[in-house]
Amino acid sequence: MTNLLPNWTQFTLKEKIGQMIVVRASGYLFDHQIRYPVWEASNPKLSHWLETLNLGGVILLGGSVAELLLRTQQLQQWSKTPLFIAADIEEGVGQRFSGATYFPPPMALGEIAKYDLALAIKYAYQMGEVTAKEALEIGINWILSPIVDINNNSNNPVINIRSFGDSPKVVSELTKAFIKGAKNHSALTTAKHFPGHGDTSNDSHLDLPVINHNNERLERIELVPFQAAINANVDSVMTAHLLINAWDKDNPATLSKTILTGKLREKLGFKGLIVTDALIMGGVAKFADSQEIAIKAVEAGADILLMPDDPEIAINAVYNAVETGRLTTERIDESLQRIWQAKQKLFNYQKDNSSIYQLSQKEDRDTVKNIIRDALKYSKDLSLKVNTETSKRNLIVVDDILNADFLDRQMPAFTIPNLLGYKLQLVDKNTLGNVLEDNQETLLQIFVRGNPFRGSAGFNETSKNYYHKIFKKSTVKSLIIYGSPYILDWFITEMNLDIPWVFSYGQMSESQGIACQKLFNLSASKLTKMSRNLGDVFI
C-alpha cells in the first residue's frame, strides 16, 4: 500500500518547525514500563505532541521486536504526517530490541581488517544490510549508524569499541561497506559524530569535550571517513557536542555555523540531513538554555533537533526567532525540503511483504558467530588443564550488576564453567573489593566496555589495585575479557600474563560461548555431550 506524503508547503510555520523535531520515546507499549521517565513522555503526552505539534519523528529504546512492531504502528497512527522512527542500532537491531540480530561492536570488524580487509568489508556490508532489513520489518526507518569516528584515544569513554578502529583508511572502507549494504533497503543511514568524537577522553553526554588539533590534522584524520560516507551517499550526518578550537572557539560543533554549514555543507559537499546529537546531553545542555540551543542549532545549519528538553518550547523558540527576524522562513524551508526528500525515500514506495518472522535468520546468526571467531584474540598457550576434583571459582566482574543485561543464569559464561566444576561468584566494580581472598583456583571473566554516561573507558584505580593483588597470589589460572581491547592491553602490560587468556569484543551469549569453548579447548560435540541445554550459541 502506497503511503503518500502531504504537501509540506501547505503547513503553517509552526507545523514546519515541528517537522524538525525528533523526540525520545519508550519502545514499550505501556506507561508503567517506561524506564527513563525524565526523557520518555507518557502515552497521553506523546500522542498529544504527535497529534498537535506535527513532530517529524521519534527515537525509540526498549522492548522486544514483536512489541516494537506494534509500537511503531501505534506511533504512525497517532501522527497526521508519516514519522521518522529512529534508533541507535550501531550493533544491529538486537542491540536495542530483543529477538533481532545482535552484532559484535564495530571494532571487531576493525580487528579483522588488520589481517584481512576484504573479509572485514564483506562483514560490514552484511551488517549494514541485515540491520536495515530488520529495522524496516519492525517499523524503524532511520538507522542512527554507522559511527565513523576514529577511536585514536584509548581513554575515550564513549566512542571506544563503537568505532571501527583507529585507522582513517579502515574506518572509511568499513563505513562505505556498511552504507552500501544498508542501501539494499530503504532505511536511512547516519554518519556520526561530526566532525569526529574519537580523540576525546571525556563523554559529551556529561560534559563538553575540547579538541585542540589544528586544521591540517583534522582534515587528514577526523574528516576522512565523513567524506567517505558522503561519497557513499549517506542519508544523514549527526553532529557532535565538541568544542573544536581550530574552527570555532565559542560554540560547540552542534551550534556552530562555521562547522555545520562551512565545513560539512560547503567544504565536504553534504546535501542530506544534518541531525543534532541529543540536545539533552550535558555537552550542549550546559552551554545555554533550551530555547537558545534550539535556535543556535538551526542557525548553525541543523535540519533535525534530536531530543530537545521540551518539543513545545523548542518549536516556540524557533518560531519566535523567525518572527523577530533572527531566522528566516527560507532557512526553515531549506530544512523542510531536505526532510521531505528523505521521507519520500521512506514513504512513497510499495511496501513489501516482509515479516517479523524473518528476523534473526540462521544465516544472519552465522555471520555474527563468524565475526566473533574471526576477531577473537587469545594467548599462544591455551593448554588449560581443568581438575574436576578440586574447588574452583568462576569470578565474573561486570561494570554494574544492575545493568548487565547480557548475563542471566543460562548464559554460557555461567553454564560452561559450571559444567567443569567452577562455582559462580558475580561482582561489579562496587563490590569487587569484597571478594573473599582465598586460594581457590580462579577463572576470571571481565565484562568491561566504553558506554555513554559511564564517564570512564575502563578500570578505576581501585579495580586496578585489586587485580594487582589477586594476580600476586597466583590464584587466577585463566582469564577471559569481553568488550574493550584496551583492558586487555592493560592486563598484558601490567600483569605480565603467563596464563591462558581469551579476548572477545562482544559480550552477548554467542561471544561467551565461543570464548569459553576456545579457552577450555572444547569441541561442539563434547559440549553437546556435557549438556543438551546450551543451545547453539557456540556451535
| One domain for residues 295 and 382 | no
Active-site residue (options: 235, 248, 277, 364)? 277
Instruction: Give the CA-trace dihedral at 480, 485, 490, 496, to 10 degrees.
Output: 50
- The answer as to whether 367 is a domain residue is no
| One domain for residues 42 and 81 | yes
For residue 514, what is its C-alpha cell? Answer: 565461543
- Across 143-147, 416-420, 463-467, the highest mean pLDDT is recorded for 143-147
| CATH number of the CATH domain containing 499 | 3.40.50.10870
Among the three residues 324, 358, 392, which one is the final residue of a domain in this structure?
358
- The answer as to whether 36 is a domain residue is yes
Cross-strand bridge partners of residue 422: 392
Among the three residues 325, 358, 391, which one is the final residue of a domain in this structure?
358
Of the candidates 76, 36, 40, 37, the one whose C-alpha atom is nearest the C-alpha of residue 55 is: 76
Within a 10 A sphere around the Cβ of 460, how many other Cβ atoms? Answer: 11
Q: What is the pLDDT of residue 357?
A: 67
| One domain for residues 321 and 460 | no
| One domain for residues 396 and 312 | no
Q: What are 135-152's pLDDT values in tens digits?
A: 999 999 999 999 999 999
| One domain for residues 167 and 282 | yes
| One domain for residues 391 and 422 | yes
- The answer as to whether 489 is a domain residue is yes
| One domain for residues 406 and 341 | no
- The answer as to whether 435 is a domain residue is yes
| One domain for residues 283 and 147 | yes
Domain that holds residue 196: 30-358
- The answer as to whether 19 is a domain residue is no
Residue 497 has pLDDT above 50, yes or no: yes
Number of domains the chain contains? 2
Q: First and final CA of the chain: distance in angstroms?
A: 41
| One domain for residues 310 and 394 | no
Residue 501 has pLDDT above 80, yes or no: yes
Active-site residue (options: 193, 197, 205, 241)? 205
Does the active-site annotation cover 277?
A: yes
| One domain for residues 204 and 341 | yes
pTM of the model: 0.93
- The answer as to whether 368 is a domain residue is no
Q: What is the pLDDT of residue 432?
A: 79
518 vs 167: CA distance, rounded Å: 29
| One domain for residues 391 and 262 | no
Q: What is the pLDDT of residue 456?
A: 55
pLDDT band per the 50, 70, 90 thresholds, residue 537: very low
For residue 31, what is its C-alpha cell? Answer: 506507561
Does the active-site annotation cover 205?
A: yes
Q: What is the pLDDT of residue 257?
A: 98
| One domain for residues 389 and 353 | no
- The answer as to whether 7 is a domain residue is no
| CATH number of the CATH domain containing 289 | 3.20.20.300
- The answer as to whether 537 is a domain residue is no
Percentages of the chain per state (helix, strand, coil), in multiples of 5: 45, 15, 40
